[in-house]
Amino acid sequence: MNFGDAWEENMGKCDKNMTFEMLDFFFEQGGNFIDTYVLLLLLYSLFVFHLLS
């Protein structure tokens, strides 16, 4: 899944309005969990990189 335009060439574009529409639909359908593991992994990687620099 892609939000924004960083991967537009490979995955298509998902602008801010489309992102909010998707999240609104998700919650309307009863969704209540968004996996943020990738974000946490990125933050951890940046933290470790900072420690090793």
| 3-state SS track over the chain | CCCECCCHHHHCCECHHHHHHHHHHHHHCCCCCCCCHHHHHHHHHHHHHHHHC
CA atoms within 13 A on the CB side of 31: 11
What global pTM score does this model have? Answer: 0.51
Sequence spans of domains, the chain: 8-52
Q: Give pLDDT tens digits along the chain (53 positions).
A: 667 777 788 878 888 888 889 889 989 999 887 766 777 777 788 888 787 87
Residue 31 in contact with residue 22, Cβ under 8 Å? no
The amino acid that residue 12 corresponds to is: G
